[in-house]
Amino acid sequence: MNALNAFFNTLFDWVLLPLEKIGPRTALVVVSGVFGVLALAIFKFISFQKGIASVKDRIKGHMIEIRIFQDDLAVVASAVGKVLFRNVQYLALNFGPFIPLAVPFLFVSAQLVTRYAYEPARVVAADAQLLPGQGTMLEVRLAEGHEREIAELEIVLPPGVKALSPLVRNEYEGRAFQEIVANVAGEHVLEFRLANGARETKTFLAGRVEGAAPRAMQPRRVTTSEWWNLGAPEDCATLWPAEPAFDGASSFRSIAFRYPDSDLGWLPGGEGGVLLVFVVASMVFGIAALKPLGVTI
């Protein structure tokens, strides 16, 4: 999984480099639109185009039949049944090819979310008096079978990051929480240690460093053993490509906090906003390319 994510990271670094000089909003919309056109082109070759066209024609024919013989209840009832059956066929012919397209959709959406959905955590003065909840809540969760080891967890904060609360542990669930805040802008590496010798890190970005290029960031780092999990999609390694996932044998399951939502101006920011733009832009560009590509859906 890490190798695959690294491949897509490199690919998107190359693709987005010229677009981001225009602006992140342009890059997000253009990449989403291009994906929609490419997905449509792939759909044309993996779907049964003649079958889709035939079913659509049959549905139209049955609708005309209902219109012409509207006074004959038997004919109308039969035609309605045929329309419903043909609609099921139509949905099956269209839905089937979209299943393999879900794989590239997942990787592309993960790249866009980690690049455009978040802002770095805010930076506050070292002598600022903050109330509980004004910092960033850090959550550590250990893997199944390692829950009790949370009692020995040690979090090492780098210079420029300080704790606002004591480390609170839940041995039954294998979770720990601590509120932190950054006093210096930049990329900070938090270290997590267990008594069994396990060591993991998590990158924490704060503020904007003048002259530094924007980079992908993610609020969660998870294990490769959770590459896909319908029950807990937030723990899917495929969704978090900006940092390598933990080894499958790691004592850690996830280390997470929340970055502020991005400000994309007239476009919605945050995870939901970026995904919405991705879906809408890909659909709009795809619809515009239907006739030029000669695709039947």
Tokens representing 262 are 């991005």
Residue-wise pLDDT for 52-63, tens only, equals 889 988 998 988
Average pLDDT, the chain: 88
Give the pLDDT band of residue 178 (cuts 50, 70, 90). very high
Give the pLDDT band of residue 227 (cuts 50, 70, 90). low
- Please, is 73 exposed, middle or buried when counting C-beta atoms within 10 Å of its C-beta (0-12, 13-18, 19+)? exposed
Alpha helices in 158-268 (DSSP H): none
* pLDDT recorded at residue 99: 83
Residue-wise pLDDT for 133-160, tens only, equals 889 999 999 999 999 999 999 999 999 9
Q: What are phi and psi of 293, to 5 degrees?
A: -85, -10
* pLDDT recorded at residue 210: 54
pTM metric for this prediction: 0.86
Cβ(116)–Cβ(262) under 8 Å? yes
SS3 199: strand
Mean pLDDT of 160-188: 94
Cα atoms in the Cβ-side hemisphere of radius 13 Å centred on 120: 23
Residue-wise pLDDT for 100-140, tens only, equals 888 889 899 999 999 999 999 999 987 778 888 889 999 99
* pLDDT recorded at residue 212: 47
Tokens representing 5 are 């994510």
Cβ(56)–Cβ(110) under 8 Å? no
Give the pLDDT band of residue 237 (cuts 50, 70, 90). confident
**What percentage of the chain reaches a pLDDT higher than 90?**
52
SS3 271: helix
- How big is the CA angle at 176 (ends 170 and 181), to the nearest 5 degrees? 150
Residue 43 CB neighbour total at 10 angstroms: 20
**Alpha carbon distance, N-terminus to C-terminus of the chain:** 33
Which of 14, 37, 75 is closest to 281 using CA atoms? 37
